[in-house]
Amino acid sequence: SNKSTSNLRSPVICVMGHVDTGKTKILDKIRHTNVQDGEAGGITQQIGATNIPVNAILDQTKMVKDRKNIQIPGLLVIDTPGHESFSNLRSRGSSNCDMAILVVDIMHGLEPQTIESINMLKKRKTPFIVALNKVDRLYEWKSQPKMDITNCIALQKKNVINELTEKVNGIIVQFAEQGLNVKLYYENEDTKHWISMVPTSAISGDGMGNLMALVVQFCQTVLLKRLMYSEQLQCNVLEVKAIQGLGTTIDVILTNGRLKYGDTIIVPGVEGPIVTHVKGLLMPEPMKELRVKNPYTKFNEVRAAQGIKIIAKDLDKAMAGASLLVANQEDEINICKAEIQAEINEALKAIKLQDRGVFVQASTLGSLEALLEFLKQSKIPYAGIGIGPVHKKDIMKASVMLEHDDQWAVILAFDVKVEREAQEIAENLGVRIFTADIIYHLFDAFMQHREDLKK
Ligand code: GTP
Ligand code: NA
Ligand code: MG
């Protein structure tokens, strides 16, 4: 690469859309992974990131007509959940990105969370392109994944082309109702003002190369200035997660600047800014998802843009959705703390605890927040929260509610282990524990319990 572009960072791309439109499958196709098959109920309930290096892009865009040179060092892609309860994670993903891929099921058109995603993107003025996914569902569609999608379409029977045109025109009208002008990318000559759409199939692979090429091209034209690497740290906490053997860790998106082993970092926390030191910077291999259990590699230094798991002490009370700062000198610590406190105050509004209420324990902060949102909507107060396994101390806290009102002596445990000792104490004291690995099942079990109590 030449001098003017050698200092580009990877763009951060967020994949958004309604539930089951194929967001995770699209990434699986690109990564040659099976993350979606491993998800409980086929539902994405966490947020993570994947690095797609240039060689993978080159390899997978071979069939694309008029393919441009690649100047960016790769793509950093964030997958988000499409289920209604996870608007927190859609918001977090989209607020951390340079552009988005909005995935629409070509057979269904725009759906409620498509529109919610559009509104989030509009609010932050985040540009996006549209993947019209599941094109293989068109009746009598013939897959040609090794071809440019325009050639593939040209080879389809007339009835297939008619159905495609009809679906596309319907979707154009639906976008117009949202105040957006969209066009198929190969009819779009003004990518600054018109949003491009590309038909794809995450199953057969049709259009996948075109999708990647479109993202790269958009980044290298419209977003080029924004992608100049800067040493000015820009780092945001994406997720807080308990990992066996590592304790509570944070997953961050490092958009600009660098992080080093031993750095003094100021991390947002529910009880105020946390000052700690980087004890480990972990990243999965390229093409592997940060949120999935993979062998991680340890680095002494990481330069943006990357998704990184940080190991450090005192992260139990860490929170997501706010910045992480590095203090290079002792006297910077207080300045950093003040800066982060302002962000914390904003983000904390979502978590506020009550004196009386149920206890919630989850594997990640993102899913915990989704549970809290559900409780809020159902007018159920919550008095305690935690990330990671349910221990004896959690039962003891919940048991205090027995003195007030039995119905609150409840622990909702999502995707976490309940320690044997904790289970026994809960049974002895009369604290109810509900467990599930799909948040909707947890909602249902708890709602049923409340119904039973009323009888
Ligand atoms: P959430 O994360 O739960 O919102 O879903 P998602 O958007 O990530 O969708 P996911 O990847 O879980 O796919 C949902 C279902 O659609 C799965 O059964 C996939 O196999 C299927 N699917 C995804 N993409 C395609 C496609 O291009 N064609 C067809 N026929 N099926 C697809
Ligand atoms: Na799904
Ligand atoms: Mg998914």
Question: Which segment of 206-210, 317-321, 389-393 scores lowest on mean pLDDT?
Answer: 317-321
Please provide residue 397's backbone torsions phi and psi, each rounded to the nearest 5 degrees. Answer: -60, -45
Question: Which segment of 26-30, 426-430, 439-443 scores lowest on mean pLDDT?
Answer: 439-443
Sheet holding 234-243, edge to edge: 234-243, 247-256, 306-311, 280-284, 296-299
Q: What is the pLDDT of residue 174?
A: 98
Whole-number Å distance between alpha carbons of 416 and 386: 10
Can you give the C-alpha Rg of the chain in angstroms?
23
Note the pLDDT tens digit of each residue in 416-431.
999 999 999 999 999 9
Q: Is 201 close to ligand 1, i.e. is its CB under 6 Å away? A: yes
Among all bound ligands, the one having the nearest atom to the CA of 83 is 1
Q: Is 48 close to ligand 1, i.e. is its CB under 6 Å away? A: no
Confidence label for 100 from pLDDT (cuts 50, 70 and 90): very high
Query: Separation of 103 CA from ligand 1 center, angstroms?
Result: 10
Query: Separation of 135 CA from ligand 2 center, angstroms?
Result: 17
Note the pLDDT tens digit of each residue in 48-94.
999 999 999 999 999 999 999 999 999 999 999 999 999 999 999 99
Ligand 1 pocket test target in 14, 16, 20, 90 with most atoms within 8 Å of CB:
20
Please tell me the total number of residues recorded for the chain in this structure: 455
Ligand 1 pocket test target in 36, 87, 164, 206 with most atoms within 8 Å of CB:
36
Q: What is the largest CA-CA distance in the chain?
A: 74
Query: Separation of 52 CA from ligand 3 center, angstroms?
Result: 18
Whole-number Å distance between alpha carbons of 222 and 439: 39
Q: Is 22 close to ligand 1, i.e. is its CB under 6 Å away? A: yes
Q: Is 82 close to ligand 1, i.e. is its CB under 6 Å away? A: yes
Note the pLDDT tens digit of each residue in 347-359.
777 788 999 999 9
Sheet holding 325-327, edge to edge: 274-277, 264-267, 325-327
Judged against a pLDDT cut of 60, whether residue 300 lies above it is answered with yes
Judged against a pLDDT cut of 70, whether residue 125 lies above it is answered with yes
Q: What percent of the chain has pLDDT over 70?
A: 99
Q: What is the pLDDT of residue 5?
A: 53
Tell me if residue 83 is catalytic. yes
Whole-number Å distance between alpha carbons of 315 and 295: 21
Q: 438-444: which pairs have CB atoms within 8 A and are 24 or more residues apart?
A: 438/40, 438/41, 438/43, 438/45, 439/45, 439/85, 439/367, 439/370, 439/371, 439/374, 439/414, 440/83, 440/85, 442/371, 442/412, 442/413, 442/414, 443/374
Segment 196-208 shows an average pLDDT of 98
Closest by alpha carbon to 402, among 358, 442, 453, 354? Answer: 358
Q: Using CA of residue 12, residue 92, residue 207, residue 50, what is the dihedral sign?
A: positive
Judged against a pLDDT cut of 50, whether residue 1 lies above it is answered with no
Note the pLDDT tens digit of each residue in 237-268.
999 999 989 999 999 999 999 999 999 999 99
Distance of CA 334 to the CA centre of its chain: 31
Tokens standing for 438?
């799909």
**pTM, full prediction:** 0.93
First to last CA, the chain: 72
Judged against a pLDDT cut of 90, whether residue 281 lies above it is answered with yes
Tokens standing for 450?
């409340």
Confidence label for 234 from pLDDT (cuts 50, 70 and 90): very high
Query: Mean pLDDT over all residues of the chain?
Result: 95
Can you tell me which atom of ligand 1 is nearest the CA of 42? Answer: 12
Q: Is 205 close to ligand 1, i.e. is its CB under 6 Å away? A: no
Confidence label for 197 from pLDDT (cuts 50, 70 and 90): very high
Q: Is 93 close to ligand 1, i.e. is its CB under 6 Å away? A: no
Catalytic choice (18, 32, 83, 441): 83
Q: Is 137 close to ligand 1, i.e. is its CB under 6 Å away? A: yes
Task: List the residue whose alpha carbon is closest to atom 29 of ligand 1.
Answer: 134
Query: Separation of 132 CA from ligand 3 center, angstroms?
Result: 16
Task: List the residue whose alpha carbon is closest to atom 5 of ligand 1.
Answer: 20
Beta bridge partners of 12: 76
Please provide residue 335's backbone torsions phi and psi, each rounded to the nearest 5 degrees. Answer: -65, -45
Query: What is the identity of the amino acid at 399?
Result: S
